[in-house]
């Protein structure tokens, strides 16, 4: 697995124990997301950015705190992980996928992208005891996860990702 490194300025250089892998998507293309994460004014980042071609870009060392979950929100999983004031960035590794497919003119999530994400998650599981979730599940305002609500091109291959990664779903859908 080839991982390129480009250090975002938007992170906290403090090592923390990671318990969650949080999957997000960019609502736009890879280059735009990379530029946004490199912009100090954005005050956002992710540990990893993964393109539709499977390219993996590490933007924050997983040991440190990336700014991918809004710390001011309340989260459904917050109590499960004992996070009171710091939000989930403190205990999560953030993965940003280029997508969703419908915004990129694609017919579905790309197999090579999901394969790269699955292999990366599996690799990280040798260092961190992670459970996997997506951004909409941890947002207390979400009724159901976006990955399951998606239709057509945007229907996320959640079951396939769980199989590839070997991780458990942090919030099993009802």
User: Can you list the domains of the chain with their CATH numbers?
Assistant: 3-169 (3.40.80.10)
What integer pLDDT is reported at residue 69 of this predicted model? Answer: 80
Q: Residue 18 and residue 145: Cα distance in Å, rounded?
A: 22
pLDDT tens digit sequence for 130-166: 988 876 665 544 444 555 566 778 888 988 999 999 9
What integer pLDDT is reported at residue 91 of this predicted model? Answer: 83
CB 87 within 8 A of CB 97: no
Bridge partners (DSSP) of residue 57 are: 4, 49
Q: What average pLDDT score do residues 57-84 get?
A: 72
Q: Residue 137 and residue 23: Cα distance in Å, rounded?
A: 10
Cβ-proximal residues to 141 (8 Å cutoff; 6+ apart), any chain: 73
Q: How confident is the model at residue 172 (pLDDT cuts 50, 70, 90)?
A: low
Q: What average pLDDT score do residues 55-82 get?
A: 75
What integer pLDDT is reported at residue 153 of this predicted model? Answer: 83
DSSP letter at 81 equals: G
pLDDT tens digit sequence for 19-63: 889 999 998 899 999 999 999 999 999 999 999 999 999 999 999
pLDDT tens digit sequence for 88-114: 788 889 999 999 999 999 999 999 999
Q: What is the SS3 assignment for 125?
A: coil
Determine if the peptide bond prior to 100 is cis (ω within 30°): yes
What is the pTM (predicted TM-score) of this model?
0.88
């Amino acid at each position: 697995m080839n991982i390129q490194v480009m250090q975002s300025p938007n992170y906290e250089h403090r090592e923390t124990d990671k318990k969650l892998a949080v999957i997000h998507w960019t609502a736009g293309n890879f280059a735009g997301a990379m530029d946004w994460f490199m912009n100090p004014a954005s005050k956002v980042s992710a540990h990893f950015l993964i393109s539709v071609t499977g390219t993996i870009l590490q933007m924050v060392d997983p040991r440190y705190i990336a700014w991918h979950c809004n710390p001011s929100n309340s989260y459904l999983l917050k109590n499960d992980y004992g996070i009171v004031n710091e939000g989930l960035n403190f205990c999560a590794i953030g993965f940003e996928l280029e997508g969703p497919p419908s915004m990129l003119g694609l017919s579905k999530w790309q197999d090579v992208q999901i394969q790269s994400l699955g292999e990366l998650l599996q690799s990280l599981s040798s260092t961190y005891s992670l459970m996997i979730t997506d951004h909409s599940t941890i947002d207390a305002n979400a009724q159901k996860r976006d990955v399951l609500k998606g239709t057509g091109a945007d229907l996320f291959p959640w079951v396939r990702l769980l199989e590839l990664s070997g991780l458990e779903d942090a919030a099993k859908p009802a």
